[in-house]
A and B are shown apart, each in its own frame.
Chain A
Amino acid sequence: MASSSNFFGLTECNLLCVGGLVAGLALAAVAFKRYQKYKDDQRRQTYPKDTVVLHQIGRGKYIPSISPFPLKLETYLRMAKIPYINEHSRTFSSKGKTPWMTYNGEDVDDSQMCIDFLNKKLGVDMNKHLSLEQKSIGHAFRILVEDHLYWTGVLQRWVYDKGAHVPEASGGRVTPFQARMISRKIGPQAYMQGLGRHTQEEVMCILRKDVEALSCFLGQKKFLFGDDPCEYDCSIFGLLAQALWSMPGSPHEVMAKKEFPNLKDYIYRVRETFWPDWNECILEPEQGGTRGKKEK
């Protein structure tokens, strides 16, 4: 008997097969998601109490993280001596960002919101030795670094370089294919943000002004506001460390290494103060890292 119905050339039997396949795939996806959630919930139950679980993307070849914000947050945890463990994963927060943290069952995302949360929860204040005016200046410099200088780095790494150095800097965790895919998404984002509308030459000029302002304000001081480090040092270090260790050949690296020696000294100073175990926080040679190797 010939097929009685026909839908865009497909017979009833074909439609049943396709429908069954689609339904099967959907069920498999739902089952997989539920299983992932179940495993996630199991894992969360094992998180230690009164300990920050810092979710971040994993160690880098030369640097504990090739992203400035995990480095900022981890530097803060060390500075404030808050107990924490790392969970290296590609699970993003509900806002689609990383790093994020869990503390006694509560999830918080955005590095600054994590810091504000912990300051409030644990009565921490790494800025207590600063005057109100210094805090206002520190706030301005933190925004300069995180909302402006950061985007010049994004453009350099993902647009001008097209993510070429990321696979190596990540120790192979980001594949060249993934780097190219990310690079395609970042360009339009940077355009929307505004800095991506400028020419490369204009962006380099903007970069120089930001770095000059930082260098000039730091001057000969040990940390941003004198001999004692403060919370703002975490975010500045998080970003400047990228220039030195995960953006090879970039104008950022050149400026940090050669043109502004006080910034280079500052970066090393913060590293020596809060990351005495820096070498254990980068990937081993077997994983594509430089642990144990002499720094260039």
Chain B
Amino acid sequence: MDLAVKLYEDNSCKLKYVSGVLVGAALVVVAVKRYRKYKYDQKRQNYPRDTVVLHQIGRGKAIPSVSPFPIKLETFLRMAKIPFINEHTHQPSSKGKTPWITYNGEDVDDSQMCIDFLNKKLGVDMNKHLSLEQKSIGHAFRILVEDHLYWTMAYVAYAGDLTATRSVMPYDPLTNMFLVRAWTKVIRKQLWCQGMGRHTVEQVNHLIKSDLMALSVFLGRKRFFFGSEPCEFDCCVFGMLALALWCMPGSLHETLVNKEFPNLKDYIYRVRETFWPDWNECILEPEQGGTRGKKEK
């Protein structure tokens, strides 16, 4: 301590000034963080009881979210008729992901863990009509969609030309440019680590086609993934395919879903009509850059 004081007294005026500014800035940052935490805790106290608070990044121009996992989770809440409210925020979970939920003071992240948590907490089981074998197949397809098809979509959206991606982001041009650039850096690294980023465009196109063909073949002429009743797995398949249809203009995903696999297109519209009758109110208004109220192309 004595040494620190001596050093401080011995240093030039300039150094004292810089140190003072740095300490001041650090104090301001700490104060802002504490204030934000205080406001956040206040907000949490106002959350209604026995109601899921779904934290997600906000509505999209033509789709309720530009990410598949909030759509999956929100579709599940609607399917299971669980009361919920949305909190649109860029605040991620403790694992750095979104969406996440708060239920009676308890935070849960990762869309599938949220669903498992609610199933256990509320005694919900949207798969109860399925056989064990169907559940195992459904699980495999969920992984195909969330851990493979998802990465082909991330590749198309972020590994190459970002024009289409920028066009669907629901932010002002400056925020858009900043956010897309920041996300691109992270997602390209993720793609390389996961493996998809090591393939050529041609190879990824082949993978996209294989995945969508598998989904289309398995769905066949069924109304939902396992027959005439929807199940939990429909939520995640819908979440991913909805993005292909409404959030990836000009992509191979969009082309294949629109033209080559018409049963997938019909399926997406069917799930939307069943669980999202208010779809139009869940997308941005024209003043915010959205397509609410406009006729779909």
Contact = CB atoms under 8 A, between A and B. Distances in A.
Asked if A and B bind, the verdict is yes
Interface string B182-202: 000000011011110011000
B140 A217 contact: yes
Given A198-B95, A212-B136, A216-B135, A139 B143 contact: no
B206 to A, nearest CB: 8
A141 B214 CA distance: 11
Interface residues of B, number: 35
Given A147-B143, A219-B133, A136 B203 contact: no
A188 B136 contact: no
Which bracket fits the contact residues of A?
35 or more
A106 B51 CA distance: 59
Contacts of B215: 136
B117 to A, nearest CB: 11
Contacts of A144: 139-140, 143-144
Contact of A133 (B96, B144, B218): B218
B221 to A, nearest CB: 12
Interface in A109-142: 110, 113, 116, 132-133, 135-137, 139-141
B253 to A, nearest CB: 16
B97 A197 contact: yes
A214 interface: yes
30 contacts: A95-B198, A110-B199, A113-B203, A132-B217, A136-B214, A137-B218, A139-B144, A140-B140, A140-B143, A140-B144, A143-B140, A144-B143, A147-B143, A147-B195, A189-B193, A192-B189, A192-B190, A192-B194, A193-B194, A194-B194, A197-B96, A197-B97, A198-B95, A198-B110, A202-B113, A209-B139, A213-B135, A216-B132, A216-B133, A217-B137
Interface of B: 95-97, 110, 113, 132-133, 135-137, 139-141, 143-144, 147-148, 189-190, 192-195, 198-199, 203, 206, 210-211, 213-215, 217-218, 220
Interface of A: 95-97, 110, 113, 116, 132-133, 135-137, 139-141, 143-144, 147-148, 188-190, 192-194, 197-198, 202, 209-210, 212-214, 216-217, 219
